[in-house]
Amino acid sequence: MTSRDVVDRPAPVADRRRSKRHGRQRTWPAFWVFVGPFLAGLILFTFVPIVWSAVLSFFDAHNTVTPTTFVGLANYVDMLTNSDFLASLGTFSVFAVFIVPTTVAISLGLALLVHRLRFARAFFRSVFFLPAACSYVVAALIWKLSIFNGVRFGLANTLLGLFGIDQVPWLSSASPPWYWVALVTLRLWLQVGFYMVLFLAGLQRIPGELYEAAYVDGARPGWQVFRYITLPQLRATTVAVVLLNLIAAYQAFDEFYNLMSSARGYPPFARPPLVYLYFTALGQGQDFGHGSAGAVILALLIGIVTVLQARLFGFGRRD
C-alpha cells in the first residue's frame, strides 16, 4: 500500500460524525448571539402577554393584572351578550365590506397598469408602494387636520366649495356617516401599494406561453384574455390578498382612534372591536377580565374566518 492510497482513503464514519458535531458546536454561540435577543423579546413581549391575557379572561380583574376571583366563562357570556361589543363587530363588518373589495380591485388594476409599462416601471412601482411605509398615526393626523377636518379651510371642503357645495362635517356626523369616506380613503392610500406589489409578483409568474397560445387560438386582447388567462392564474394571490385584508380589517385601530377621537373623547359611533376593547380594558374602569375575554373572542373569530375562507377558496391547494 502506497502513501497515496492512505491519503485517498475516505475518512472513517466516526471521524466524519465527530467533525460535523464539532462544526455545529462552533456555530451554536454565533446562532444564539443573533437569534437570542429576538427570541427573548418575542417570548417576553408577545407570547407571555398572550398567555396571560387568556388567563385574565377567566377572572374578575378590575384595576389589577393579578386577580384572585375566578369567574369561569362569565366574562365571555357578558361580552357575547354586550350590545356595544356586538355593535363594534358590526362596525368592522361595514368597514370590511367597503375596504376589502375596493382594495382588491384598485391594487389589481394598478398592478396590471404597472406591469404593462415599457419604461419607468420601477419608478411607478416605488411611487405607489411608498405610502405603505408611512405610519398610520401620521397619515391619520394628515387626513384629520388637513383634508377632512370639517372646516372651510380643509382640502375636501375647499374642493366642494368650488362647486358651490356646503361644508361637510366629515368626522363629527353620524347621520349621514361621512366619516366612512375619511376612514376608507385613508386605509386605501396606506395599503393599496403593498397589495399591488403582491399582484405584480403574481403577474410576473404567469408564463408568457399561455398568452401566446391564447392569441393563436383566437382570443382577443383585453377582457377575454384577462378573464380566462390572467385572473385564474392569480387565484392564489387574490385569496392571499383577501385573507390579509380581512385580518387587517379586524385589527383596525390606529386610523379609527386617531381620526375619530377628539378633546371630548371618542364618539359613541364608529367603534371597531379593538377600539372598544381598548376603552374597556384601559378606560376608567380598567376591566382587564372583560377586555381579555373580548380579545380572545376576536382572535378566535379571526382564526375561524381565515380557515373557512381558505377552505372555501382552496388556498394552498394544487391547481
Q: Does the pLDDT of residue 24 top 70, yes or no?
A: no
- Confidence label for 165 from pLDDT (cuts 50, 70 and 90): confident
pLDDT of 101 reads: 92
pLDDT over threshold 80, residue 181: yes
End-to-end CA distance of the chain: 60
pLDDT at 196 over 60: yes
- Cα–Cα dist 172/123, whole Å: 39
Q: What is the pLDDT of residue 168?
A: 86
pLDDT for 114-129, tens place per residue?
A: 988 888 888 988 999 9
Confidence of residue 102 (pLDDT cuts 50, 70, 90): very high
Q: For residues 75 and 287, give the distance between their C-alpha atoms in angstroms, rounded to a whole number.
A: 10
pLDDT in tens, 69-90: 888 899 999 999 998 888 888 8
pLDDT grade for 270, boundaries at 50, 70 and 90: confident
Half-sphere exposure at residue 28, Cβ-oriented, CA atoms within 13 angstroms: 6
Inform me whether the pLDDT recorded for 22 exceeds 60: no
**Nearest Cα residue to 168 out of 154, 183, 186, 185:** 154
**Confidence at 213, pLDDT banded by 50, 70, 90:** confident
> Which of these, 296, 280, 263, 256, lies nearest to 84 by C-alpha position?
280
Cβ atoms within 10 A of the Cβ of 314, count?
Answer: 12
Distances (CA, A) of 268 to 142, 172, 271: 23, 11, 7
Q: Quick one: pLDDT band at residue 6, thresholds 50, 70, 90?
A: very low
pLDDT tier, 109 (very low <50, low <70, confident <90, very high otherwise)? very high
Higher pLDDT, 289 or 25: 289
Averaged confidence pLDDT in the chain: 84
Proportion of the chain in helix, strand, coil states, percent, rounded to 5 = 70, 0, 25
Work out the percent of the chain whose per-residue pLDDT is above 70.
90
Alpha carbon 161 to its chain centroid, in Å, reads 36
**Which three three-digit cell numbers place residue 130?**
411608498
CA-to-CA distance for 1 and 4, rounded, in angstroms?
A: 8
For the chain, which domains are there? Answer: 101-288 (1.10.3720.10)
User: For residue 64, what is its C-alpha cell?
Assistant: 389589577
The three grid cell numbers given for residue 6, joined into one nine-digit string: 492512505
Give yes or no for a contact between 187 and 196, defined as CB atoms under 8 angstroms apart. Answer: no
